[in-house]
Amino acid sequence: MANTWWELEILCEPALEDSIFWRLEDFGSRGTASESKGNSCLVKAYLPSFQTQLLDLAALSLWLRQDALCVGLSTPSLQWHLIDEEDWATSWKQYWHPQEIGDRFLINPAWLPLPESSDRLVIHLDPGVAFGTGNHATTQLCLESLEMRLSSVPQSFVASGGQSEPLVIADIGCGSGILSIGAVLLGAEKVYAVDTDPLAVQSTFSNRALNDISPERLIPAEGSVDMVKRLVSQPVDGIVCNILAHVIIELVPEMSAIAKPSTWAIFSGILLEQSAAVADALEKNGWVVATLWKRKEWCCLNVRRS
């Protein structure tokens, strides 16, 4: 039998878009897209049907109503129907276009030709069912932070295949591998990319191939900080981690085991109102928050060891 997917269509007030997005991500959505519909926003999400029962969708509908009521906004409408895999791939892809991020990056969907005359670092991406198309504010904040962090890596290092200043990075919660690929393009010698979702790891493997990155420079693996600990022989130089705030708070104590006094880290997936709690957890574990960058209601913390 062909694989089928639930296509969810949620019509909401634009102010609810981000909270709906994260609710869907938590619920197991394998692709989310949004578009303006007059004064409203239409969010579409895709879930494999084997993973979700009708009852789950009814529960999701209730959560979305509650989330809206809590912030005094009108309740969103949720509709769902089944589509087959082929339609899913087409529906999802039509919303995704090349996108410039920061001063250096251009994210190019794998199925589109390269835009002409760009001097940007191109990340070719087919996220498949993983998170990380570059559309989300948190991914953008992480890529821009990497750009600032790694702009000092001499490009001669990139060209020479790594003769000077080797830089090893851990990408925790790699999704499509977008941040790992960005780090390699900026000159990192080696990136360990881990994710608890095996489909994300698979997606990072295929995006590594799509970007012609050698297996020695980008090492995807299923797991989390514990897996990086097993893979590395020495602490890493940098950590990038775009996961939800409560997961970051849980993982921070373990991260000390892969850090040294000069290690820096970039954390996102954090709502502005959660930043104090995350900063608190970081400081208790020997990190100092150097900068906080904001986009929409999200923030990104750039930290170093104290």
Rounded-to-integer distance, Cα 66 and Cα 76, Å: 10
Question: Which one of residues 174, 201, 258, 266 is an interface residue with ligand SAM (CB under 6 A)?
Answer: 174
Tokens of 289: 């928050």
Is 39 labelled a binding residue? Answer: no
Backbone angles phi, psi at 269, to 5 degrees: 90, 15
| Of residues 207, 210, 37, 23, the one with CA closest to residue 129 | 207
Q: Minimum Å distance from CB 276 to ligand SAM? A: 21
Question: Which one of residues 41, 78, 153, 179 is an interface residue with ligand SAM (CB under 6 A)?
Answer: 179
Rounded-to-integer distance, Cα 136 and Cα 84, Å: 26
Q: Which is nearer to ligand SAM, 187 or 269 (CB)?
A: 269
Rg (CA), the chain: 19
Q: Which is nearer to ligand SAM, 61 or 190 (CB)?
A: 190
Q: Minimum Å distance from CB 255 to ligand SAM? A: 11
| Of residues 179, 184, 177, the one with CA closest to residue 200 | 177
Neighbours of 263 (CB within 10 A): 21
Is 139 labelled a binding residue? Answer: yes
Instruction: Say which residue the tokens 């090349």 belong to.
Output: 98
Is 173 labelled a binding residue? Answer: yes
Is 175 labelled a binding residue? Answer: no
- Which residues from 193-232 bind ligand SAM, rule CB under 6 A? 194-197, 200, 224
- Which residues from 94-133 bind ligand SAM, rule CB under 6 A? 130-132
Residues that bind ligand SAM (CB under 6 A): 130-132, 139, 142, 172-175, 178-179, 194-197, 200, 224, 242-243, 247, 251, 269
* Binding-site residues for S-adenosyl-L-methionine: 139, 173, 195, 242
